[in-house]
Amino acid sequence: IHTMDLYYHIRSPPCQPVVFLARHLGLEFNHIVTSIYDPADFEVLKKVNPQHTIPTLVDNGHILWESYAILIYLAEKYALDDSLYPKDVCERSIVHQRLFFDSGMFQNTTLQALLSHLRNNPITDEHLAKVKRGVEIVEMYLTDSPYVAGQKLTIADFSIFVSFCSLDMMKYDLTAYPNVQRWFAKMGTHIPDLEPT
């Protein structure tokens, strides 16, 4: 079995869903630790991915970046069945809706909030309102469903879980969101060797 290269950094939230999904699927990566702040690493990354973002996957010459595209690729190519990325058109469309919600809004909102927190920069009320709106939307996804896209664990759970890890790291208060709390705790059971992020 060949190994895939993953350009990544442990402290990069967008890398984590990919690492967690790989663990869940039992896949192995050759991890190429890449600090986007290190000029030498940056040059190496830029040769592979002109957009120079991590995560970047290289699977037998096939180069892919954007964590969402990587999650879909890994699930389609390496999952034993279609439960993580359902083939049913309607079920799949809900997974896409959740992924695009994270991609278009929630990942960036939570990532910027975490960065402000870590740098001791003030977070504006407007930004906090956006975080809250995102959290409320996920609480709503989980109203009658154990997972964000319905009855089964899907790749959307991995993405949105990591956005909540960012909030968890900044000690964001989730007590008003019981569905999110229940789901967040359960997600740990789907990821072998979940380390504090």
Ligand X SMILES: N[C@@H](CCC(=O)N[C@@H](CS)C(=O)NCC(=O)O)C(=O)O
Task: Point out which residues bind ligand X (CB under 6 A).
Answer: 12-14, 36, 52-55, 66-68
The Cα 191–Cα 59 span in angstroms is 22
By beta-carbon proximity to ligand X, the closer residue of 106 and 141 is: 106
Q: C-beta of 81: minimal distance to ligand X in Å?
A: 25
Which of 12, 67, 159, 166 is the catalytic position? 12
Q: Which residue is nearest to ligand X (CB)?
A: 67
By beta-carbon proximity to ligand X, the closer residue of 67 and 177 is: 67
Q: C-beta of 107: minimal distance to ligand X in Å?
A: 6
For the question of residue 163 being annotated catalytic, the response is no
Q: For residue 30, what are its two tokens?
A: 């050759």
Q: C-beta of 176: minimal distance to ligand X in Å?
A: 28
Q: How far is CA 91 from CA 20, 96, 100, 178, 186, in A?
A: 22, 9, 14, 25, 21
By beta-carbon proximity to ligand X, the closer residue of 46 and 87 is: 46
Q: Which residues are catalytic?
A: 12
